[in-house]
Chain A
Amino acid sequence: MPQNEYMERHRKLHGRRLDYEERKRKREARLPKIRAKKAQKLRGIKAKLFNKERRNEKIQMKKKIQAHEEKKVKKQEDKVEDGALPTYLLDRGVQSSAKVLSNMIKQKRKEKAGKWDVPIPKVRAQSDAEVFKVLKSGKSRRKAWKRMVTKVTFVGENFTRKPPKFERFIRPMALRFKKAHVTHPELKATFHLPILGVKKNPSSPMFTSLGVITKGTVLEVNISELGLVTQTGKVVWGKYAQVTNNPENDGCINAVLLV
Chain B
Amino acid sequence: MEVDDSDDRDAIHTIQARLVSDTGEEAGPPIDLPVGITTAQLTLICNALLQNEEQTPYLFFVNEEEVKQSLDKAIDIKKLDTEALIDIVYQPQALFKVRPVTRCTSSMPGHAEAVVSLNFSPCGQHLASGSGDTTLRLWDLNTETPHFTCTGHKQWVLCVAWSPDSTKVASSCKNGETRIWDPNTGKQLGKPLLGHKKWINCISWEPYHDNPDCRRIATAGTDGDVRIWDVVLGHSERILSGHTGGVTAVRWGGSGVIFTSSKDRTIKMWRASDGVLCRTMTGHAHWVNNLALNTDYVLRTGPFHPVIDKLKKYSMTTDKNELREVALQRYKKVCPDGVESLVSCSDDFTLYLWRSNSSKCVARMTGHQNVVNDVKYSPNVMYFASASFDKSVRLWNAHNGAFICTFRGHVQAVYTLAWSADSRLIVSGSKDSTLKVWSVQTKKLEQELPGHADEVFAVDWAPDGSRVASGGKDKIVKLWAY
Please give the residue numbers on chain A whose beta carbons come within 8 Å of chain B beta carbons, in ascending order.
77-78, 80-91, 99, 102-104, 107, 224, 227, 229-235
Contact = CB atoms under 8 A, between A and B. Distances in A.
A86 B202 CA distance: 11
B433 A233 contact: yes
Classify the secondary structure of A's interface with B.
loop
The winner among A80, A86, A103, A231 for most chain B CB atoms within 10 A is A86
B294 interface: no
Given A102-B454, A230-B450, 5 more contacts: A84-B156, A85-B116, A87-B158, A227-B431, A234-B450
B156 A227 contact: no
B411 interface: yes
A86 B200 CA distance: 11
Interface residues of B, number: 46
B435 to A, nearest CB: 9
6 contacts: A82-B132, A84-B116, A87-B202, A90-B222, A234-B450, A235-B432
6 closest A-B pairs by beta carbon, nearest first, are: A84-B132, A233-B450, A233-B434, A227-B411, A84-B114, A102-B454
Interface string B402-432: 0000000001100100000000000000011
Given A229-B432, A233-B449, A91 B263 contact: yes
B434 A88 contact: no
Contact of B450 (A82, A85, A91, A231): A231
Contact of B448 (A80, A85, A224, A233): A233
A99 B455 CA distance: 10
Contacts of B455: 99
B418 to A, nearest CB: 14
Contact of A90 (B199, B374, B391, B431): B199
Contact of B113 (A84, A104, A230, A235): A84
A232 B131 CA distance: 24
Given A80-B154, A102-B473, A88 B415 contact: yes
B209 to A, nearest CB: 28
B379 interface: no
Nearest to A229: B432
A82 B199 contact: no
Nearest to A77: B154
The winner among A81, A89, A99, A102 for most chain B CB atoms within 10 A is A102
Given A87-B199, A102-B474, A227-B432, A80 B155 contact: yes
Given A84-B116, A86-B117, A87-B201, A104 B454 contact: yes
Nearest to B115: A84
A103 B158 contact: no
Contacts of B276: none
A88 B459 CA distance: 14
A231 B450 CA distance: 7
